[in-house]
Amino acid sequence: MDTSRLKRKINPVPEDIEKRLIKENLMEAYKNRPPYQQNDYLGWILKARRPETREKRIVQMIEELRSGDRYMGMKYRVR
């Protein structure tokens, strides 16, 4: 991920999320998203206080990566 232009804190990919993306065959879809989206997903997931909330957010990210047309609940179109 080229994070050189991001002005906010860069979130490293936690090992459990990386394993999930690989297991779901979505690592490429994740890496094809712009760096700000990758970072936003991770920041959003990492801010969850409860394990249930964290898991719900991971599932949402996976579903959005799989569909390819959503980003954090909003419509997304690949440029």
- In this prediction, residue 32 has a pLDDT band, given cuts at 50, 70 and 90, of very high
Q: Residue 6 has what pLDDT?
A: 61
Quick check: 1 pLDDT over 90? no
CA separation for the pair 63, 29 (Å, rounded)? 11
Q: Which residue has the tokens 């969850």?
A: 48
- What is the average pLDDT score of the chain? 91
Tell me the average pLDDT across 36-51. 96
Q: What pLDDT does residue 40 have?
A: 94
pTM score, two decimals? 0.86
Alpha helices (H) in 1-79, listed in sequence order? 15-23, 27-32, 35-46, 51-67
Longest dimension (CA), the chain: 35
Residue 70 confidence class, pLDDT cut points 50, 70, 90: very high
